Structure 1
Amino acid sequence: MATQTPATPTSTSTPQGTPPLGSWSLQAVWPFSTLAQAQAWERAYRSSGHQPWHLDPDQTALAFTRDYLGFKEIDRVSKRTVSGRHARIGVAPTGPESGTAAVIHLVRFGAGPDAPWEVVGTDDTTFSLTKPAYGSLVRSPLVTGGRISGVDETIRVQVRQPSSATPLGTSPCCTPAGGNDQPWNVTVSFSGARDPVLTVVASTGGHVAEVERFTVTAVRTG
């Protein structure tokens, strides 16, 4: 799924036939909603060094978790794998008993050597969000679900978009869940969607931190 690198390093254009995220199926979750926004940042960075953190997948993953999702207690990188234009960054709360909360998948948005990192989803293991399907068209109310392993889990679901500081919708707190690879389902209503891609995030916690694990998927409204 790697994006082809153009012959001219200063170009921000994507080679003909090559999608800006390296695959037509990948969705731009955060921080940029469109390729034009990512290219505007590239121009600002080249002229003035604006927001250099976009070139660091660790910083981008933590900013996504803390600033966009609002999980302030998740403030460290627990694992990282960077391969070409893809990165998988594990994030976790501080504390000896706190494990990885999620592994965030990022991709370079565009084809240039200074294309910024873009969150496209999470790699899930013991807590997954498989409904609605990634990249699918949705409307409110939204039925969400997946599978979870754990004891005395409490699941909350939110719908977010990059242009809004607050969630478009939040499920009532909280849906009990647990067991070994057991299904879970939560319905959430939302309104005010205007961005091309929305983020659905499910979280659970309450044992050693308010949010101990989370999972996200990307959906569209039109």
Structure 2
Amino acid sequence: MSSPSQSSATPTPSATSATTPPGTQAPTTPAPGGSAPAFGPGHFQPVWPFATLAAAQAWQREYRSGGHQPWHLDADQTALSFTQGYLGFRDIDRVSSHKVSGAHAHIGVAGSGPEGGTAAVVHLVRYGTGRDAPWEVVGTDDTTFSLTMPGYGSLVRSPLLTGGRITGVDEGIRVQVRQPSSAAPLGTSCCTPAGGNSQPWKQSVSFSGARDPVLTVVATTGGHVAEVERFTITAVRTR
């Protein structure tokens, strides 16, 4: 996997959008507070692709002057680029659901195989102001697999205790800590056995090398029909 920068990741050209909304789901991110999403402590965290508002605004200026990387205005492409480029889940390569409402988008992503159901619903918001404000990943909407610990936007250090709930059979949960400026995970922990109906799970992961202000904690499960069949993320802060 190549290292995703603030605005240089290459979108996946094979995305195909669907129009079925993802349904009612419990968000791992804060409830939106109006039409202009707020970022910072107690609000949304900028997960990817822009680490700061200044970086998003710099892209806007480049886009206005020369049409630079227009995929930042496409929620589907941004969700797939996040999943494949940043998280490294190359087999999750299509959009399974699409719902955009104002400054918020909820995009389901899935594998292309015959048994590939929705792996996650990625929550994105517009970062900045103007009709050309780019899409920013802020979290996932979760149903049968959640990551609720550590709390969204909380300050963390290593080792990190993670946890949530899962519904499934013979699941094995892998947890990684990532940052946009690094190609490799900062830490990985595998694998916690889990299963049942909305059963709690917990797992500790150690990490090192954190230099970005916002880190991504991602939990995955799979192994039945694909290596990664479901995933959930949360955002935490280092300062």
What is the TM-score of this pair, normalised by structure 1? 0.90
| 1:162 match | 180
- For 2:108, which of 90, 106, 125 is the aligned residue? 90
Q: Residue 69 of structure 1 aligns to which amino acid in structure 2?
A: L
Does residue 185 (structure 1) correspond to residue 218 (structure 2)? The answer is no
CA contact (8 A) 2:222 2:229 kept: yes
Question: Contact 1:148–1:177 at 8 Å: present in 2 too?
Answer: yes
Aligned residue pairs, count:
207
Counterparts of residues 125-144 of structure 1 (less than 5 Å): 125-144=143-162
Instruction: Provide the rounded CA distance (Å) in 2 between the counterparts of 1:45 and 1:209.
Output: 37
- TM-superposition CA deviations, 1:130-159 (whole Å, max 9, x none): 000000000000000000000010100000
What is the letter of the counterpart of residue 29 of structure 1? V
Match of residue 209, structure 1, among 222, 226, 236: 226
Tell me whether 212-221 or 173-182 shows the greater mean CA deviation.
173-182
The answer to which of 43-52 and 147-156 deviates more is 43-52
Is 1:121–1:218's contact at 8 Å kept on the other side of the alignment? yes
Stretches of structure 1 that go unaligned for 5 or more consecutive residues are 5-17
Indicate if the aligned counterparts of 1:203 and 1:211 stay in contact, CA closer than 8 A: yes
Q: Secondary structure at the match of 2:136?
A: strand
SS at match of 1:53: helix
Which ranges of 4 or more aligned residues in structure 1 deviate by more than 6 Å? Answer: none
Distance 2:148 2:227 in 1: 23
Partner of 2:213: 196
- Report the alpha carbon displacement of residue 19 of structure 1 after superposing the two structures with TM: 3.3
Corresponding letter in the other structure for 1:94: S
- Once residues 20 and 114 of structure 1 are traced to their aligned partners in structure 2, the CA distance between those partners, rounded to angstroms, is 18
> Residue 107 in 1 paired to residue 125 in 2?
yes
Whole-angstrom CA distance in 2 between matches of 1:203 and 1:71: 10
Q: CA deviation at 1:24?
A: 5.3
Instruction: Supply the RMSD in Å over aligned alpha carbons.
Output: 1.4
Which one is further off, 118-127 or 24-33? 24-33
Residue 149 in 1 paired to residue 179 in 2? no
The higher radius of gyration belongs to 1
Percent of aligned pairs with the same residue?
76
Find the counterpart in structure 1 of residue 38 from structure 2.
19
Alignment of 1:69-84 (within 5 A): 69-84=87-102
Hey, what's the Cα distance between the residues in 1 that align with 2:56 and 2:216?
18
Q: Equivalents in 2 of 1:179, 1:20: separation in Å? A: 36
Which of 82, 85, 88 is the equivalent residue of 1:64?
82
1:12 corresponds in structure 2 to none
